[in-house]
A and B are shown apart, each in its own frame.
Chain A
């Protein structure tokens, strides 16, 4: 029997196990929506803006590990997805984006709602393809899912001209894909894995530095086994949070620009860094030339281009983290006896660093400190929620104060730093897990960037909670202006004209507000008791800064812990004490 391109497309999605697509209709993809009208198995979520829809797909993909599927129309529909596609590309999130296109005969004629979407997205997709013949459609879709989810995952875009989805042909779904020019490596080189084991057995000051790759390859269990067997402490990147239990005694917290002092000091002073599914991002390394001068580096990554890109690895291992860690653990189990876990002095040193500069903030009696809100959310959700964030101070505070115990529970835009990511990502996660607690922690700047998706949350009755850390500023920008631009707050003040409670109510959601410390607990309780989308406006200290911090251009061991004035005072005090000491001596 002959089927139309639209039917073939939907049938392909079904065979790929797609349960939900994030979509927005328009002229050229109407034939596909017409088929979706009768579709029972696949849920269609109508977003309010294609960027929001694509971030939803990202949230869905990051929370589930399955590819997120987006269906939009040509021209503006497609270009609106671009920011989120770049976001997914940077964070290795598997997406399949289906874009409508004008009929093949009109391509290149400046037709209505035409854009060269394959051209526009070429540098920001793992692969993209314009399907010019309905006979190629099933193969293209099959390949899209395969490429998006294998190796280092990423977004794949399939551009579908209107005449192609209308044309009919025999439907045959390929059972297998073989692409001669694409074969991601999964098994690690045995000899190299042995080398890595040797390095681990020799090391006196080892540290595991793991990232999002551990989550992508579902290797959390193997990572934990490695850490517990060797007693090597673990630090995670922003993208990796959740890959190792946040409350585990071997966990050092996040590293990097706003990471834990002791995690950074451990990296800096280590003699062996075992990097797993992480890419030595500039927010992690600080000044590369001064990064971990004494460390040997074992680097495990599925993407060969990540290896030797920033830091030269002594033992590079290309392949899937889960497979490699299994092999490595096996070797260590059989031959590591007696030589593992013998680094007590190192652990003592790390403990000392922990005592030196613990994470802290001063919660006064009245004004709410943003960090306090995060801690309260952690308590209220018993550390068990799926949390999404936007980008900025609140994102870093969440990474610092929320202890993620489970994989795939922290959704945020790490590589691209996309404001407006949090709310739609939370919606995507809530759709995947209707019974889980999903909280979006956002800033007052970013939340506005995709606030329209609140309408989506209300329409589909998704009980997401949106906690706005409202400091009336673009907080991270203001912080940098304060520290590095002489306090000249150029265009970073957002004003207090927006009434987020009324805004929530206008969308049909619940709006709550807390302005004093005493109200935080109650408001959270109230929010979690409601089975509806709730926006909570936490009016927090306007000029709280995010510390500790590695200033731009500094090395990883050169962290700053407080505002300059405060530092001066502390230094002054120390000097006075010293002077006193000298006098009394």
Chain B
């Protein structure tokens, strides 16, 4: 099962490598990973999407918690959350396809952010299903290049009893 794990980390060099090394060293796969700053400049937030059964994901979250530079780990999949991903899709635009491209973009409320005589670059933001859907519709027109940011996610309500380091113990107990 897919899990979205939110990881609050110290904004130091080497931290990303510690996190990714933890996954690779144990043969856990990362589907996507995105990192960005938070309101506090000394802290960064990572959103990691990974796949595994409950046992594996429990190990992953515990191992992440164990890393010294990690402040807080939350498995968002255990609760209500909102997720978004952005993709930039560069497509071929032969004259006869342009109208179709614009129509598809319109349906998905995507934007054309760049155009050249032969291409449109479409920006789309949404959940994974939406992005997969627009890709499917644009594919017949000829996708030249595609880039996705990886998912970012945020819990819907304020996070309370989750795998905060201080709560590590309680978390183990609840399982």
- Interface flag for A71 (CB, 8 Å): no
A-B contacts at CB below 8 angstroms, number? 58
- Interface flag for B68 (CB, 8 Å): yes
Enumerate chain B residues within 8 angstroms of A183, measured Cβ to Cβ: 165-166
Contacting chain A: which of B59-67, B109-117, B128-136?
A: B59-67
Decide: A181 and B71 in contact? CB cutoff 8 A.
yes
Q: B14's contact among A118, A185, A191, by CB below 8 Å, is which?
A: A118
With CB as the reference atom, state the residue of chain A lying closest to B170: A189
Closest beta carbon of chain A to B88's beta carbon, Å: 32
Enumerate chain B residues within 8 angstroms of A122, measured Cβ to Cβ: 14, 17-18, 21
- Interface flag for B168 (CB, 8 Å): yes
- Interface flag for A308 (CB, 8 Å): yes
Closest beta carbon of chain A to B17's beta carbon, Å: 6
A308–B175 CA distance with the chains assembled, in angstroms: 9
- One digit per residue, 1 when the CB lies within 8 angstroms of any chain A CB and 0 when it does not, for chain B 1-23 equals 00000000110001001100110
Q: B68's contact among A118, A147, A316, A319, by CB below 8 Å, is which?
A: A147
Decide: A304 and B169 in contact? CB cutoff 8 A.
yes
A191–B174 CA distance with the chains assembled, in angstroms: 12
Closest beta carbon of chain A to B27's beta carbon, Å: 13
Decide: B17 and A189 in contact? CB cutoff 8 A.
no
Given known A-B contacts A179-B68, A185-B169, A304-B66, A119 and B17 have beta carbons under 8 A apart? yes
- One digit per residue, 1 when the CB lies within 8 angstroms of any chain B CB and 0 when it does not, for chain A 117-143 equals 011001100110010000000000000
- Interface flag for A182 (CB, 8 Å): yes
Which A480-511 residues have a C-beta within 8 angstroms of B? none
Closest beta carbon of chain A to B168's beta carbon, Å: 5
Which A285-327 residues have a C-beta within 8 angstroms of B? 303-305, 307-309, 316, 318-319
Decide: B168 and A318 in contact? CB cutoff 8 A.
yes
Given known A-B contacts A122-B18, A181-B10, A181-B165, A307 and B68 have beta carbons under 8 A apart? no
- Interface flag for B25 (CB, 8 Å): yes
- Interface flag for B160 (CB, 8 Å): no
Decide: B21 and A309 in contact? CB cutoff 8 A.
no
Q: A304's contact among B10, B62, B166, by CB below 8 Å, is which?
A: B62
With CB as the reference atom, state the residue of chain A lying closest to B22: A123
Give the size range of A's interface with the partner: 20 to 34
Closest beta carbon of chain A to B65's beta carbon, Å: 7
A119–B65 CA distance with the chains assembled, in angstroms: 20
Closest beta carbon of chain B to A186's beta carbon, Å: 10
Which A127-184 residues have a C-beta within 8 angstroms of B? 127, 130, 147, 179-183
Q: B173's contact among A127, A147, A316, by CB below 8 Å, is which?
A: A316
Decide: B169 and A303 in contact? CB cutoff 8 A.
no
Count B-side interface residues using an 8 Å CB cutoff: 27
Closest beta carbon of chain A to B56's beta carbon, Å: 11
Enumerate chain A residues within 8 angstroms of B63, measured Cβ to Cβ: 305
Closest beta carbon of chain B to A568's beta carbon, Å: 41
Decide: B169 and A305 in contact? CB cutoff 8 A.
no
- Interface flag for B58 (CB, 8 Å): yes
A147–B69 CA distance with the chains assembled, in angstroms: 12
Q: B172's contact among A127, A181, A316, by CB below 8 Å, is which?
A: A316
Enumerate chain B residues within 8 angstroms of A308, measured Cβ to Cβ: 55, 58, 172, 175
Enumerate chain A residues within 8 angstroms of B18, measured Cβ to Cβ: 122
With CB as the reference atom, state the residue of chain A lying closest to B55: A308
Decide: B69 and A304 in contact? CB cutoff 8 A.
no
Given known A-B contacts A303-B66, A304-B66, A308-B175, A319 and B71 have beta carbons under 8 A apart? no
- Interface flag for B70 (CB, 8 Å): yes
A303–B172 CA distance with the chains assembled, in angstroms: 11
Which B149-173 residues have a C-beta within 8 angstroms of A? 165-166, 168-170, 172-173
A432–B59 CA distance with the chains assembled, in angstroms: 38
Chain B: residues with CB nearer than 8 A to chain A?
Answer: 9-10, 14, 17-18, 21-22, 25, 55, 58-59, 62-63, 65-66, 68-71, 165-166, 168-170, 172-173, 175
Shortest Cβ-Cβ A-B pairs, 9 listed = A305-B62, A181-B71, A127-B68, A318-B169, A182-B68, A123-B25, A304-B62, A185-B169, A316-B172
Given contacts A185-B168, A304-B62, list 20 more A-B pairs with CB under 8 A. A119-B17, A122-B14, A122-B21, A123-B21, A127-B68, A130-B14, A147-B68, A179-B68, A181-B9, A181-B10, A181-B71, A181-B165, A182-B68, A183-B166, A188-B169, A304-B169, A307-B172, A308-B175, A316-B173, A316-B175
Q: Can you give 20 contacting A-B residue pairs, CB < 8 Å?
A: A119-B17, A122-B14, A123-B25, A126-B68, A147-B68, A181-B68, A181-B69, A181-B70, A181-B165, A182-B68, A182-B165, A185-B169, A189-B169, A191-B173, A304-B66, A304-B169, A304-B172, A305-B59, A308-B55, A308-B175
